Structure 1
Amino acid sequence: MTPEVVMDIFADALYLVILMLVVIVGPGLLVGLVVSMFQAATQINEQTLSFLPRLLVTLASVMIAGPWLLREFMDLFTRLYTNVPNLIG
């Protein structure tokens, strides 16, 4: 196994982790920003107000994008598993 192959595998795995992070956490960050702007405009300083919308959006994004992300995850590991003989030899 050459260093180039290891770096390719690492790059694919890192890309998948970043993709999962953006798809799951990104919408929650945007909703948190909108709620924070609303709180600043109305001067409502309630910490729990931003928690529920972020939680609901994060759960919705997991429900919507979950099957696609799982398929991507399984594709990566299927490629790794089928290429083990090529990687070792």
Structure 2
Amino acid sequence: MTEGQVLDIIRDAIYTLLMTSLPLLLVSLIIGLIISIFQTVTSIQEQTLTFIPKIVGVFAALMFFGPWMLTVLQEYITDLWQNFSIYLG
């Protein structure tokens, strides 16, 4: 296995990781921003106010994006296993 092949595997793994985690992180970020603006406007300084909407939002995003995320991960693992004999020698 060459150094280039290792770097390609690592690059593809990081790209797949970022691509599959980005929808959930964006949903959490947007909900947090909306709650933060709401707290600023209404002067409510409750620290625990953001937890329930974020949990519900991330769960809903996982239900919506879950099949796509699973497909992307499955394609990555399938490509990795198909090229396994090339990596060995």
What's the TM-score bracket when you normalise by the shorter of the two chains? over 0.9
Distance 2:20 2:75 in 1: 14
Worse-matched range after superposition: 20-29 or 7-16: 20-29
Distance 1:84 1:34 in 2: 46
Which AA in structure 1 matches 2:86? Answer: N
Helix, strand or coil for the counterpart of 1:50?
Answer: helix
- Report 1 or 2 for greater relative contact order, CA contacts < 8 Å, sequence distance ≥ 6: 2
Partner of 1:46: 46
TM-score by length of 1: 0.93
Partner of 2:31: 31
Q: Specify every segment of 5 or more residues in structure 2 that has no aligned partner in the other structure, as ranges.
A: none
Q: Give 1:22 shift.
A: 1.1
TM-score by length of 2: 0.93
Helix, strand or coil for the counterpart of 2:44?
Answer: coil
Distance 1:64 1:38 in 2: 26
Aligned sequence identity (%): 36
Partner of 2:84: 84
Give the CA RMSD over aligned residues. 0.9
Q: How many residues align structurally?
A: 89
Q: List structure 1 runs of 4+ shifted beyond 4 angstroms.
A: none
